[in-house]
Structure 1
Amino acid sequence: MERISEVGVAVRNLEATTRLYTQVLGATASEIMPVDQYGNRARVCRIGSTDFRLMEPATEASPLAQMVARRGDCLHHVGFQVPDVEEAIDWMKRNQVRMIDEAPRAEDGVRFAFIHPEPFNNVMYKLIEGSYDLKYIPEPAEPRDIPGRVRMERVLEVGVNVLDLEAATSLITRVFGTKPTPVITIDMYDMLITMNRIGDIDIELMASITEDGVIARSIAKIGEGMSHIAFLVANMDEALAWMKRNHIRLIDETPRHLENLRVAFVHPEGFNGVMFELIEGLHPWFDH
């Protein structure tokens, strides 16, 4: 796995979600693509070097339509860039990893295959070979002055809620070739984590310390799976003020302190069900 290049997001309204990503987060949007082989309308919103693939079901028969009807907007998958998708599929099979796609699919200039989410705590991963043939709009869809210090600089982490931290860490270490951090205790969230780096983005595996911790409550409600996406910001105070000016609901009105970081969570209602974390600083658990 060379790097995390894509985050898939299931959405109910492609145009409205695009406006949020471009006007609030500072993303650069592609043109809307033709309806894909899954029956979805889609476009990419790029932040840093990561593409957020926004996908709206074009028909009620689309598999995505059932997910959106049940959960609203939600994180759908994480995409890994690989040099050869067929070799990557073969590697997964040799490691007894169940595939959705036994052979690569092709679309928009890439070859790709989906890994079944069951072994990976309900997170669906996508193997991607090549680069999408996309046309990007040079400015946000409706040009707007977004101060540089409040733009999301890049994706730092993908958060995943798990029941068994040791087993989840062991699996992605063996299959994806990551080198995890030791188990880290985060007292203010009552959880244990490991950071598992792929390229310059970490998969943050999170398990609750207690039965009524925030992770435990989330798993009891919706099961294991992707929790949030974390962005690096240049100035936390200005980023939070920008969210408030845009009427985005926050979980943390003021930043929390963690090691050498300042962190704050954006309420999922602000982005139609998808939770984002803002981070100022780089954590000390890897050498940067």
Structure 2
Amino acid sequence: MITTLDWDHVSIASSDMKSASIFWQDLFGFEKLGEFHGDDINGATFAMPGRSHIGLEIIEPSGNDSYLRRFLDGPSGPGLHHLAFRVPSIEDAVKELRDSQIEPWGESIDDEGTKYAYIHPRSGGEGVLFQLYEADQAWNVHELFSDEEPGHLGITALNHICHVTASRDSTGDWYEKLFGLTTIWRSDSAESSNDPSRQVDFKSRLLDWPTGQSRIELLEPYGEDSFLHDFLDKRGPGLHHMTFQVSDFDQALNACRDRGINVFGGREGHTRGGHWRETFIHPRDSQGVLVQFFWEDTPGIWI
């Protein structure tokens, strides 16, 4: 099993880093930490509001020959690009990958002594690019902070990242074996996690990352008409959306409407005596990323 010390950041690919950076600061309340510029990509890093202590990275191609240009021009871009984790030992992580019949990709060491290895989406990563790095100090070292700006979404946590797969059980077992995740919920069939009487066109499984910072939600199509078939046919398995918890649902709705953003798929209900509300922001309104946000009046009732 690969030990992870920190879920360091979520990376988003964009053709216009400046525009994307302004958007994630202006609506979501992220705080910019810095920028980096390279021969292949440029990037900006951000601190996320709330308790998750996970950073955001926005990257753009720095030239026409950048590998990121191919990603952006393909079926997956722009949008969620990779997940990054700090590990205690790249050598141990690489050994674990090879013992699991996964050949690591892009092993390297930079001028500062940081060691890297990647799990390729099509070669062992279940459709997701994972960046692993070894360093004495995490890249994402921002202090936890609350976003008190009434014009922002009011994020309190990154609840989960959604990963669409053809088999939630095969992929879920992969996460458990390789990274030590723990399954905390699994639908019996295709019922909603918040309302067992409501049937949906997917089966789900929710796993907690060992660092306790966030979760991975796995969705598998259920039925011939599931919307996830189209996602898998066009993109293959991979990252689907980000889900944030917010402190005030009406504030979050108003923040979207004030910017001309129409949310969709809104629902609300009661679970174990508590009230919750949820909705989505379409990728065309959020720099290529499908965003879900929710509010709950009782901790832990929304899954």
Normalised by the length of structure 1, the TM-score is 0.86
Contact 1:108 1:132 (C-alpha < 8 Å) held by counterparts: no
* Pair 1:123 & 2:124 matched: no
Q: Cα 1:95–1:204, aligned 2, differ >3 Å: closer, same or farther?
A: same
Matched residue, 2:261: 248
Match of 2:250 among 224, 237, 241: 237
Cα distance in 2 between the residues matched to 1:122 and 1:133: 25
Amino acid at match of 1:194: R
CA offset at residue 241 of structure 1? Answer: 1.4
Cα distance in 2, alignment partners of residues 66 and 9 from structure 1 = 14
The residue identity in structure 2 corresponding to 1:213 is: S
In structure 1, stretches of 5+ residues that fail to align are 137-144
Q: In the alignment, which of 75, 81, 85 is matched to residue 90 of structure 2?
A: 85
CA contact (8 A) 2:166 2:237 kept: yes
Change in CA separation of 1:135 and 1:59 when aligned onto 2, cut-off 3 Å: farther
Match of 1:139 in 2: none
In the alignment, the residues of structure 2 paired with residue 213 and residue 27 of structure 1 have an alpha-carbon distance, to the nearest angstrom, of: 34
Matched, 1:193 2:204: yes
CA distance in 2, matches of 1:157, 1:248: 22
- More deviation, 277-286/240-249: 277-286
Structure 1 stretch displaced more, 110-119 or 224-233: 110-119
* 2:37 corresponds to: 34
Alpha-carbon spacing, 1:19–1:180, altered in 2? closer, same or farther (3 Å)? same
Deviations 1:188-235 (A, max 9, x none): 542211111112211101112212112223222322110001111111
Q: Say whether the 8 Å CA contact 1:31–1:135 is kept in structure 2.
A: no
- The within-5 A match list for 1:96-245 is 96-101=101-106, 103-106=107-110, 110-118=114-122, 119-130=124-135, 131=137, 146-147=149-150, 150-184=153-187, 185-186=191-192, 187=198, 189-198=200-209, 199=211, 200-245=213-258
Matched, 1:20 2:35: no
> Residues 239 and 108 of structure 1: is their aligned pair in 2 closer, same or farther, counting only changes over 3 Å?
farther
- The unaligned stretches of length 5 or more in structure 2 are 143-147, 193-197
Amino acid at match of 2:100: N
Residue in structure 1 matched with residue 56 of structure 2 by the alignment: 52
User: Counterpart of 1:55 in 2: which secondary structure?
Assistant: strand
**CA distance in 2 between partners of 1:258 and 1:8 (Å):** 34
Letter in 2 for 1:43: A
Partner of 2:195: none
Distance 1:62 1:258 in 2: 48
Question: Sequence identity of aligned pairs in percent?
Answer: 19
The structure richer in helix per residue is 1
Greater shift after overlay, 181-190 or 153-162?
181-190
> Deviation per CA, 1:20-67, whole angstroms, max 9, x where unpaired?
01111000112221215xx00101122141111110001011100111
Instruction: Quote the Cα distance in structure 2 between the aligned partners of 1:133 and 1:177.
Output: 22
Q: 1:133 to 1:78 in 2, by over 3 A?
A: closer
The alpha-carbon deviation at position 132 of structure 1 amounts to 5.7
Distance 1:210 1:109 in 2: 50
RMSD, matched Cα: 2.7
Alpha-carbon distance between aligned partners in 2 of 1:134 and 1:228, rounded to the nearest angstrom: 21
Of the candidates 273, 278, 282, which is equivalent to residue 293 of structure 2?
A: 278
Q: Distance in 2 between matches of 1:163 and 1:258?
A: 30
Distance 2:254 2:236 in 1: 33
TM-score by length of 2: 0.82
The SS at the match of 2:115 is strand
| Aligned AA (1:273) | G
